Structure 1
Amino acid sequence: MGAGARLNHSCPMTSYPRRALLLGLSATAVAATLTGFAPPAPAAPAGAPAPLAWRPCARPGGPAGQECADLAVPVDYRHPDGPQLTVAVSRLRSDRPAARRGTLLLIPGGPGGSGVQRLAQKGEALRKATGGAYDLVGLDPRGVGGSTTAGCGLAPADRYLVSLRSWPSPDGAITDNVARARRVADACHRHGGAVLRSISTASEVRDIDRFRQALGERKLSAWGVSYGTYVGAVYAQKYPQHTGRWVLDSSGDPDPARVERGWLANMSAAADDRFPDFAAWAADPARDKDGLRLAARPEDVRPLFLALAAKLDRAPKESTTASVPLTGNMLRQALQNALYSDAFFAPLARLVQQAQDPAARPELPADLAGPLPDTDATAIMATLCNDVRWPASVPAHRRAVAADRARHPLTAGMPANITPCSFWKDAPDPRPTRITGDGPSNILMLQNLRDPSTPYFGALKMRQALGDRARLVTLDHGGHGAYLANGTACGDRTVTTFLTTGRRPAHDVRCADPAAAPQAAGTGLRENSPGR
């Protein structure tokens, strides 16, 4: 997410950015950056955002007509007239103005996902699905992409995905993880500055509402994925009067005492839920024609994988990337990435075969072969650590890792391990938002049963918290991020109907058959007036 993805989350894409799979400036540089990126706009009314100056920004392979602009927002909303930073925003206007009914916001996963990039990737498919019913918009959260960024000044070795994820040593020790966590937290405190301290879910939600005002919209509709579902839920809690038709796709447990650290912990069981899909695929005789069949039976794939990871723990194998061998933890991380979509199963099977072949040099996935940019790693860590307080006890983490490794060998204790947030020196949000059922009944949740990042049992916690505000559509499917990606025709149809007509299931439903209609006792579709 988001921790699920960007820690995850993100959101499903053709090729996942490394920043989406997780879960600094000096004071002088901050002032210079803020002044340079967001000059004052005296023509705007007091407290209102300046008008947006749109410019073409279509990307190769993306939809024609995409536009971008810069939105000035306060670094600290407690001081709205103080220093400003820039949030990059984007839109794709409806190609059928007569059919337009409003504006739909795409909320990316992460933390660390780009809404501008997501609009480029999903905009055309979404515009086609909804028949041009919306202007589609997105933003890069502060710290991400075209928005004002911060940097912790992390060494490259601390910016690999397999380092940002706290994988224990082969013997289960966490000594190296503790040292890295302290080092990263110290660097972010020294170099991150005011921008880093401002990066949080709460700030993103305020920035979204400022974007709404700049667009001149009374209400926004939204499609949030992974970590974006939490952002969407918090927005709906804070600004219920400004929500139209609200889709939360692949949700995590919104427990305000845990949020991101809870999402990370849940990934152990989530991987176990999803792995049988890969095992069935990898043992299917159909794989023979591509030379990717790993075992004769599905039940043989798991022990094969665990044995191979253990072998690489003992003797990492030289890869095609200089000075970056394939280790056991790197193979485990490759598995976590691949479980997001069936489309990633073949590259994982190929990596497993290369690791088994004494004559082969494994070709590492791009997500694992090199370090993330410092600004991307910083944006991920800042959101995770600024949203909620994380426990700091090293002995408690050591015990938790040992227990989690025993229960969930596929993730080897990583989801229970210590992170830089345990040593974060800037105070997190003291009051994370509690999601409740207060507000209009205009939310549709979509969830795969076998999600490797935001597991179904966590999504049920979101459903419970939202009460009668929401309806849940459950898909008998695996993967992360369901609508127009890793879901089913039934799920896609249900979401599209809601977005285009306002009708949603009267009760929670389950799409058991990819070609079937939603099924539930007494279920029907009804007009959803609050979301119109």
Structure 2
Amino acid sequence: MTAQRAVVLLLVLALALGSAGTVALVLLDGDTATSDPRDAPTTTPAPGATVPPSPDLARFYGQRLTWEPCRGVGLCATLEVPLDYRHPRGETVGLALLKVPAADPGRRLGSLVVNPGGPGAPGTDYAASAAAVFRQPVRDAYDIVGFDPRGTGDSDPVDCLGDDDLDAYVAQDPDPDTAAEASTYAGWVDRIGRGCADRSGALAAHVSTVEAARDMDVLRAALGESSMAYFGASYGTKLGATYADLFPDRAGRLVLDGAVDLSLGSRELSRQQAQGFETALRAYVQDCVDEGDCFLGDTVDAGVARIRALLDDVDAEPLPTDSDRDLEVGNAFYGIVLPLYSRDFWGALNDALRAALDGDGTELLWFSDLYVSRGSSGYTDNSAEAIYAINCLDDPWAIPAAEVPDQLADFEQASPTFGSVFAWGLTTCGGMRVEPAEPPREVRAAGADPIVVVGTTRDPATPYQWAVALADQLESGVLVSRDGDGHTGYNSGNNCVDEAVEGYLLAGVVPDDGLSC
């Protein structure tokens, strides 16, 4: 794959860059909507739609959105929300919105709010790519509405590091194997935490998932909807489930795809995610072996060992690229991990690995840059910083570097290739300097309408068992399982999953709990 290929990448970096938690990646083609956004229907608020949870929030719930054509695909607006819901008369945050109007106004059902995950991925980009994310029946019936959650994208983004420092942070060895590398790693843990507090001020303490979920209800009211229809992927499942727990009477047709187990702490989430990526890596190598004459080796074990050896070689001596930047070991790690999110990119990973084994790191560096939203002249969004800030507010638990060796055996058993990287990631939130304004909740969503939870059996980023667990945790959870590879299940070539999701979103038909596709 080359940089010229028309690809939209919406990705949020977790793994070693953020606290252990969730990753979201959606790889899309470059299609865009063709309807004229100025033909969008107006929405008249339904009775009671703008009733706030408390009188002090009335001005936010009653606001009218001013939509303007943007990006050639939709309408953009800004939603105002309080920085601190405990003090709604204080500072405010502006949330960037993008709406792609329903393609068939005569069949329009309302607004479908969407989130691609992360945390940190811009929801406006996700909505702008609706033509690739959602199938035509959904696009016909819904205005697809994306928002950049507070602290992300164009919604008053948090800032933790300058671009040069962020480059160095990403490139460092995520699995330090010398005292000097361990010292450097620990220094970055402290530096990013201090940077978020110093560079972002009060905002750094107000980008939690609970606060973002409260923002969603303000958005629902501003859209004039009496209930929330929502599609969330990866971390977006955590956000959607939290919304349903906070506002069960407002939660309508919710679909949570690539689910996160909200009962797990950071350590166990990280260990299970390491195992998920190991499973995906081995499935990728197995595919190469099955094709015959695999360049990585004749067996899965041999192929995985060669990839591990490549990472060790790059750690010892970075590879040149066609730019003025070398491929360092951190870049190589992320460059390998990214294509594991989708089978569609396994061929591109073949090309990148062949080139790297021949001494050229260009393609792996390109994948790494996509992973952290780095363009040719700098970062295109703050997702690599936002994921740190949000995850560490949601769960600030961390261990000191001195305790990492005690974790290695367990993590390497779960993932011989990546386990040590995830073990070191347990230190990440140790540098956090701010306290969350509102702690996370035990999520049950009691009283909410049915919530459809989708899990994929060989999902690398959100292991299948997380979907099983979340469906069980939600009192109205309904599990739909996809047997397959890659991250998330809807619109991934499985008609059974697609029909189950669309049957619920479009007609309110609840799938059978435990449906296997």
Q: For residue 122 of structure 1, report the CA deviation from its aligned partner.
A: 2.1
For the 8 Å contact 1:107–1:138, the answer to whether it is kept is: yes
Alpha-carbon displacement from aligned partner over 1:138-166 (angstroms, at most 9, x marks no partner)? 111112222112322446233467358x7
| SS of residue in 2 equivalent to 1:382 | helix
| Residue of structure 2 in register with 1:314 after alignment | 316
Match of 1:237 among 224, 237, 245: 245
Structure 1 pair 406–313 and aligned structure 2 pair: CA distance change class (3 A): farther
For the 8 Å contact 2:78–2:94, the answer to whether it is kept is: yes
State the one-letter code of the partner of 2:366: A
Alpha-carbon displacement from aligned partner over 1:238-289 (angstroms, at most 9, x marks no partner)? 111111111000011102x62x565333221101221232112222437x7x
Equivalent runs, 1:325-404 vs 2, <5 Å: 325-327=327-329, 329-357=330-358, 360=360, 362-369=362-369, 372=379, 375-401=382-408, 403-404=410-411
Q: For residue 230 of structure 1, report the CA deviation from its aligned partner.
A: 0.2
| Residue of structure 2 in register with 1:25 after alignment | none
| SS of residue in 1 equivalent to 2:355 | helix
Matches of 2:175 and 2:409, distance apart in 1: 10
State the one-letter code of the partner of 1:338: P
Q: For residue 357 of structure 1, report the CA deviation from its aligned partner.
A: 1.9
| Residue of structure 1 in register with 2:192 after alignment | 184
Alpha-carbon displacement from aligned partner over 1:455-487 (angstroms, at most 9, x marks no partner)? 1122222122114x0111111101112212x35
Matches of 1:430 and 1:398, distance apart in 2: 33
Match of 2:28 among 14, 24, 42: 14
Matches of 1:194 and 1:446, distance apart in 2: 36
State the one-letter code of the partner of 1:464: D
TM-score by length of 2: 0.83
Structure 1 pair 159–362 and aligned structure 2 pair: CA distance change class (3 A): closer
TM-score by length of 1: 0.80
| SS of residue in 2 equivalent to 1:483 | coil
Q: Percent of aligned positions with the same letter in both sequences? A: 27
| Residue of structure 1 in register with 2:506 after alignment | 500
| SS of residue in 1 equivalent to 2:484 | strand
Equivalent runs, 1:8-157 vs 2, <5 Å: 9-14=23-28, 46=59, 48-59=61-72, 64=73, 66-123=74-131, 126=134, 128-130=136-138, 132-154=140-162, 156-157=164-165
Structure 1 pair 195–156 and aligned structure 2 pair: CA distance change class (3 A): same
Structure 1 pair 68–362 and aligned structure 2 pair: CA distance change class (3 A): closer
Q: For residue 81 of structure 1, report the CA deviation from its aligned partner.
A: 1.4
Q: For residue 208 of structure 1, report the CA deviation from its aligned partner.
A: 0.8
Name the Cα RMSD after superposition: 2.8
For the 8 Å contact 2:260–2:467, the answer to whether it is kept is: yes
- Number of residue-to-residue matches in the alignment: 468
| Residue of structure 2 in register with 1:23 after alignment | none
Matches of 1:427 and 1:226, distance apart in 2: 25
For the 8 Å contact 1:249–1:481, the answer to whether it is kept is: yes
Q: For residue 299 of structure 1, report the CA deviation from its aligned partner.
A: 4.4
Please state if 1:205 is matched with 2:213.
Answer: yes
For the 8 Å contact 1:447–1:474, the answer to whether it is kept is: yes
Matches of 1:432 and 1:47, distance apart in 2: 23
- Mark the runs of 5 or more structure 2 residues left unpaired by the alignment: 1-10, 31-56
Alpha-carbon displacement from aligned partner over 1:59-110 (angstroms, at most 9, x marks no partner)? 4xxxx4x101011111111111111121011212223233222221112211
Structure 1 stretch 443-452 or stretch 393-402: which is displaced more?
Answer: 393-402
Matches of 1:91 and 1:262, distance apart in 2: 37
Matches of 1:349 and 1:14, distance apart in 2: 19
Q: For residue 389 of structure 1, report the CA deviation from its aligned partner.
A: 2.2
State the one-letter code of the partner of 1:11: L
Structure 1 pair 362–50 and aligned structure 2 pair: CA distance change class (3 A): closer
| SS of residue in 2 equivalent to 1:318 | coil
State the one-letter code of the partner of 1:318: P
Q: For residue 502 of structure 1, report the CA deviation from its aligned partner.
A: 1.1
Q: For residue 198 of structure 1, report the CA deviation from its aligned partner.
A: 1.2
